[in-house]
């Protein structure tokens, strides 16, 4: 079963919700966060990236950053204002971008189920990023970043969320990037129906937010070590929105490499052709089982399966894994994409033009475009208790911070 629990949300009033709502803390650089906040004192980035209000010389992990986050949250509570719901509730959160629409259930989910792999992972986390968000949560006594979950669609949940969307929403925010964020607060009967329906959902899957949930687990453990023992306490749950798997949208997560490991473009192409069929003048948007490569101002198509290493694991059969093992590692000498300084990653929202620009400008020597991982592949990797290669998925659209906050 999957446990979802209503909570007393801390949230903005509807009038100021558009100003408060912000992009997730981890999708913008410090400079980008500063640009987004300089003319908006209500932006939640003042809380999630509070270093924007400090001297640029202050390290992003300095104690002053967390102290400023606490002060900024207190200011937002007063000035926005932010209010606390008087009744514990669940919410319906709909994302709409152009023709794409996905509707999920927002609430609190069990960290105990995360420990027991009822909430399944597909990604490793970095200790430094965990350290940051754990300190952020414990300083604020709140979870401000939402974990993006997926589950196998069920009619029982869909029926309730569809009914909720016929009522007037609590928030209807049109973000500057063209994504609409609409949130409904569920009535008591619908909240009960959702809780009961999720008891028949066997697993939840982390789509986006591995560091948020890992940090929430560490915050809970720190609290327990200090004498907390109540498993029903708010700190034992994490804030998330669960979407039906068939509604989630994953974009490609593409790669560039700064050099060809001492090879000329011609020698690199020869080595590549010795391993796999290569076709010139190909589309930069490859079909599954293929990669597109931009080299010397020209796009090439690469068949990833023939002639490349036989992958026996579920994750090893992903296009991104075959590219890594058969081309990046063996021909270009990239052993670990997470640490090799020659590697860079380009999320699908930045488009093919960004890959071409990086190569044409000399920032990179070669770029690779991949077909997106499917939601079904993500669930299969998670069910097999395997880990995807780094930077395999880019979920879009993304949730906004500041609209629903879980105080712990």
pLDDT (tens digit per residue) in 162-207:
999 999 999 999 999 999 999 999 999 999 999 999 999 999 999 9
User: For residue 321, which of 261, 380, 373 has the smallest C-alpha distance?
Assistant: 373
User: For residue 383, which of 280, 309, 287, 314 has the smallest C-alpha distance?
Assistant: 314
Confidence band, pLDDT 50/70/90 cuts, at residue 306: low
pLDDT: which is higher, 53 or 348: 53
What is the overall mean pLDDT for the chain? 95
Output the pLDDT for position 375: 96
Residue 397: is the preceding peptide bond cis (ω within 30°)? yes
Confidence band, pLDDT 50/70/90 cuts, at residue 86: very high
CA distance 45 to 18: 13
| 253-371 topology per CATH | 3.30.1760
Q: Is residue 305's pLDDT more than 90?
A: no
pLDDT: which is higher, 308 or 238: 238
CB 45, CB 25: distance < 8 Å? yes
Q: Is residue 350's pLDDT more than 90?
A: no
CB-count burial class (<10 Å; 0-12, 13-18, 19+) for 306 = exposed
Question: Cα 7 to chain center, whole Å?
Answer: 22
Percent of the chain, pLDDT > 70? 98
**Tokens found for residue 24:** 């997730």
CA distance 81 to 212: 25
Q: Is residue 311's pLDDT more than 60?
A: no
Query: pLDDT tens, 105-133?
Result: 999 999 999 999 999 999 999 999 999 99
Question: Cα 76 to chain center, whole Å?
Answer: 25
> Where are the CATH 3.30.1760 domain residues in the chain?
253-371
CB 143, CB 405: distance < 8 Å? yes
Output the pLDDT for position 308: 54
Average pLDDT of the segment spanning 312-336: 92
Distances (CA, A) of 375 to 122, 169, 388: 12, 28, 13
Q: Which residue has the tokens 């999720």?
A: 198
**Cα dihedral across residues 274, 276, 282, 283: positive or negative:** negative
Element of type H or E holding 320: helix 319-323
Query: pLDDT tens, 34-72?
Result: 999 999 999 999 999 999 999 999 999 999 999 999 999
CA distance 314 to 308: 16
CB-count burial class (<10 Å; 0-12, 13-18, 19+) for 94 = buried
Q: Which of 51-60, 98-107, 301-310 has the lowest mean pLDDT?
A: 301-310
CB 388, CB 380: distance < 8 Å? no
**Tokens found for residue 367:** 């770029």
């Amino acid at each position: 079963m999957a446990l979802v629990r209503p909570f007393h949300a801390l949230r903005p009033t509807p009038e100021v919700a558009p100003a408060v709502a912000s992009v997730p803390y981890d999708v913008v650089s410090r400079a980008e966060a500063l640009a987004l906040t300089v003319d908006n004192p209500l932006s939640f980035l003042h809380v999630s990236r509070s270093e924007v209000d400090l001297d640029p010389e202050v390290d992003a992990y300095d104690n002053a950053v967390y102290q400023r986050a606490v002060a900024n949250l207190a200011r937002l509570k007063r000035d926005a204002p932010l209010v606390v719901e008087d009744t514990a509730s669940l919410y319906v959160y709909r994302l709409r971008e152009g023709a794409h629409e996905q509707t999920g259930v927002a609430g609190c989910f069990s960290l105990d189920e995360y420990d027991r792999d009822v909430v399944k992972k597909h990604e490793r986390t970095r200790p430094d990023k965990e350290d940051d968000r754990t300190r952020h949560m414990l300083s604020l006594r709140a979870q401000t970043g939402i974990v993006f979950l997926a589950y196998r669609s069920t009619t029982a949940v869909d029926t309730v969320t569809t009914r909720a969307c016929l009522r007037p929403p609590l928030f209807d925010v049109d973000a500057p990037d063209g994504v609409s964020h609409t949130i409904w607060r569920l009535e008591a009967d619908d909240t009960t129906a959702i809780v009961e329906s999720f008891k028949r959902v066997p697993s939840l899957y982390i789509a986006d937010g591995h560091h948020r949930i890992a940090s929430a687990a560490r915050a809970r453990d720190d609290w327990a070590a200090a004498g907390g023992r109540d498993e029903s306490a708010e700190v034992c749950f994490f804030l998330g929105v669960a979407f039906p798997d068939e509604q989630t949208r994953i974009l490609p997560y593409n790669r560039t490499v700064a050099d060809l490991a001492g090879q000329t473009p011609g020698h690199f192409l020869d080595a590549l052709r010795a391993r796999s069929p290569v076709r010139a003048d190909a589309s930069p948007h490859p079909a599954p089982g293929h990669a597109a490569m931009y080299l010397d101002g020209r796009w090439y198509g690469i068949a990833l399966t023939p002639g490349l290493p036989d992958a026996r694991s579920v994750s090893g059969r992903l296009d991104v894994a075959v590219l890594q093992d058969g081309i990046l590692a063996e021909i270009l000498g990239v052993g670990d994409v997470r640490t090799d300084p020659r590697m860079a990653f380009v999320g699908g929202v930045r488009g093919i033009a960004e890959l071409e620009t990086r190569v044409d400008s000399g920032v990179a020597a070669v770029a690779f475009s991949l077909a997106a991982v499917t939601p079904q592949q993500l669930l299969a990797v998670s069910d097999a208790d395997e880990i995807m290669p780094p930077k395999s998925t880019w979920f879009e659209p993304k949730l906004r911070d500041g609209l629903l906050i879980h105080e712990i």
